[in-house]
Amino acid sequence: MAAPLLCVAATDAAPAARSRAQRLAVAVAQQVGVLVASLLAASLLIFLALHYLPGDAAAILAGPEATAAQVALLEQRLGLDRPVAVQYLDWVFGALRLDLGDSMLDGRSVASQIGEKLQVTVPLCVAALLISVLVALPLGMIAGARHRTWYGHLIGALTQLGVALPVFAVGLALVTVVAVKWRVLPVQGFPPDRWADPAGAIHSLILPTITLAIPLTAGLVRFVRSATIDIVADEWVRTARAQGWSIPSVLMRQGLRNAALPLVAIVGLELAGLLMGSVLIEQVFALPGIGQMLLKDVGNRDIVSVQGTLLALTSVIMIVTIALNIVYTLIDPRLRGSK
């Protein structure tokens, strides 16, 4: 009699397990579907916005002394005389094969240019993000758990300052002291050979990374601090304290997991801001990153280059957002169960 019972139990458990995996798969498939639809919408928006932007790429390329016939000839060579729909479809199908076309100005492949520039921007943003999370977590928790002490107040005040200071000023101040006075790090630029010179590349990125990380860290500290203050006032913390746990150990063991979810959400939101910030940083430090490239291409009306770069950036942000959504589902049992 025992065996059939076990059998029943097994058949009972199997569909439950499968349906949970299925539910996860459905959730992922839904997210991917949203991603594809959003990317298509974004590509159409980018294309149309740039298409109707005043200014003519062919005219700029031909130079101020060009004749109308020359401009028309260039338009034809660049494929700008084709119907708008054809131009759009051609671009989107190319993008699916990771071919974003060639720059209108210098004929170089846009995809490979983006690849080169990302070698500067991605390490810059990732390093700034890592530093700020690693610094903000302990600092914010201390400031929150001990928010009535003098150092709690000090941290609070410093973060106010960090958020308010313009990136530009911070960067220039750092350069003046570290690069011009002490001469330990370069003022500007990036090695011509990029990562073939790893030491040089890292040296070039230290000051920009710190500059970018400061306002980000300040913002995160404030967030972690207020989250910690909330947690410390929670009933379960009181219970834990009654059981003899100290506040730091409660926070380390339980608080971190409770704060992780909103933190991941905030970091995801910061990503777009980080890319925006990097445009400014790249300008101050003359770094050949994606932000600088975009600024220059917009000025030159190198539409092929601009639309390719915008699409790539949009895709990165969307993919990261979707990935974070999936991560939430994994770390938060409530989200997992609700479906």
Partner 1 sequence: MQQLLISNVYEGLIAKSSSGDYLPALATDWTVSDDALTYTFTLGDATFHDGSAVEVGDIVSSLDAARGTDSVNPDAKRIALVDTVTAVDEDTIEITLTDRDIYFLDTLGITSAGMIVADGDDTDRANTTNGTGPYTVAQWNKGSTITLERNDAYWGEAPLNKTVVLHYITEATTAMNALSTGEIDVLTAASAETLDFFESDDSVLITAGESTSWMTLGINNANPVLANADVRRAINMGIDKAGLITVIGGNAVEVGSMAVPSDPWYSDLTEINAYDPDGARELLADIAPTDLAFTLTVANNYDTKISEYIAAQLGEIGIAVAIDTVEFSTWLERAYKQKDYDLTMVLHVDPTTLSYYGNPSYYWNYDSAEAQRLASEAKSAATTDERDDKMAALAKLVAEDAASGWLYSPQTMVVASTDVSGYPVDRIANRFPVSSITAVN
The least distance separating partner 1 from the CB of residue 191, rounded to whole angstroms, comes to 9
The least distance separating partner 1 from the CB of residue 301, rounded to whole angstroms, comes to 4
The least distance separating partner 1 from the CB of residue 314, rounded to whole angstroms, comes to 21
Burial class (CB in 10 A: 0-12, 13-18, 19+), 223: buried
Q: Which CB atom, from 124 or from 220, has the smaller least distance to partner 1?
A: 124
The least distance separating partner 1 from the CB of residue 336, rounded to whole angstroms, comes to 46
- Please enumerate in sequence order all residues whose Cβ is within 8 A of that of 100, keeping only pairs 6 or more positions apart, or say none: 91, 94, 109, 110, 111, 114, 304, 307, 308, 311, 312
* Residues of the shown chain interacting with partner 1 in the complex, contacts defined by CB under 8 A: 54-56, 59-67, 69-70, 73-74, 77, 102-103, 106-108, 113, 116, 172, 175-176, 179-180, 183, 186-190, 192-194, 283-288, 292-293, 296, 298-301
Q: Which CB atom, from 188 or from 239, has the smaller least distance to partner 1?
A: 188
Long-range CB pairs of 6-11, under 8 A, 24+ apart, other chains included: none
Residue 77 sits at φ, ψ, to 5 deg, of: -65, -35
The least distance separating partner 1 from the CB of residue 333, rounded to whole angstroms, comes to 48
Q: Which CB atom, from 90 or from 106, has the smaller least distance to partner 1?
A: 106
Q: Which CB atom, from 168 or from 236, has the smaller least distance to partner 1?
A: 168
Q: What per-residue string of b and e applies to 69-107 under the rule 16 or more CB within 10 Å gives b?
A: eebeebbeebebeeeeeebbeebeebbeeeebbbbbbee
Q: Which CB atom, from 48 or from 323, has the smaller least distance to partner 1?
A: 48
